[in-house]
Amino acid sequence: MEFIDKLDSSLTIGDDDYRDFITITIEEKLKNANSGLQAEGTEFLKTIGYLLELVHHIRTLPEGEEYDDERTLGLTRLMEIISKANRQDTYVRYVHQLAQVHSKSKNFTEAAFALALHADLIPFGDNILPAELHFPRQTASARKEQLLNQIVELLASNKFWESALVKSKQMVEHCEKTSYDFKKVCVLDHFFFFFFCHLNSSSF
């Protein structure tokens, strides 16, 4: 649904007139539609109305830790809607907003799990991905590795060793199968062993 992308990029803080314009325009179009289309249109209007209110609410929340939980909940609900609409680029943008909210609150494990939602969308491969957010134009493998490194750092900073171990293993297995950069493989093996030792020591 390209409409969601346009809606997201067009809606500005406090833009009540724009939200009203969208709603009224769709309602006018539905008046002359057949009953089947009217039913579908009404449901669509409800979804769009909720989406507009949600985006507006998130963007107008004041700064401050006391609003972080509310901002997190709003972003999570928004991501669910966008995910169902299969708009990956918009979804990824909100994933990183969610990760930033968690990082600012020093909830590093939650920030890592948010970034993992992006990493899980990218299979290892040599296909070139366009630049987006803070990522340059790069191969799918390079972007996934960049994300996994960020995730591992966040998990390790919170001593969440088991999850850090799982993500490190992903990179180790990929590099062992596809990379001739033995220095990189050696470094990854070192970190894998480091997390494994911490996990075992914490279990006693």
Give 158-191 pLDDT, tens digit per residue.
Answer: 777 777 777 877 777 777 676 655 555 555 555 5
Cβ neighbours around 187 below 10 Å, total = 14
166/153 Cα distance (integer angstroms): 13
Q: pTM for the complete prediction?
A: 0.71
44 contacts: CB under 8 Å, gap ≥ 6:
26
Say what the pLDDT of residue 44 is.
73
82/92 Cα distance (integer angstroms): 10
Name which of 106, 96, 200, 199 is nearest 157 in CA terms. 106
Give me the mean pLDDT over the 14-40 stretch: 68
Give me the mean pLDDT over the 39-49 stretch: 73
Say what the pLDDT of residue 161 is.
72
108/158 Cα distance (integer angstroms): 6
Is 15's pLDDT higher than 90?
no
The amino acid occupying position 199 is: L
Is 3's pLDDT higher than 60?
no
The β-bridge partners of 135 are 132
Token digits of residue 84: 């169902």
Say what the pLDDT of residue 140 is.
93
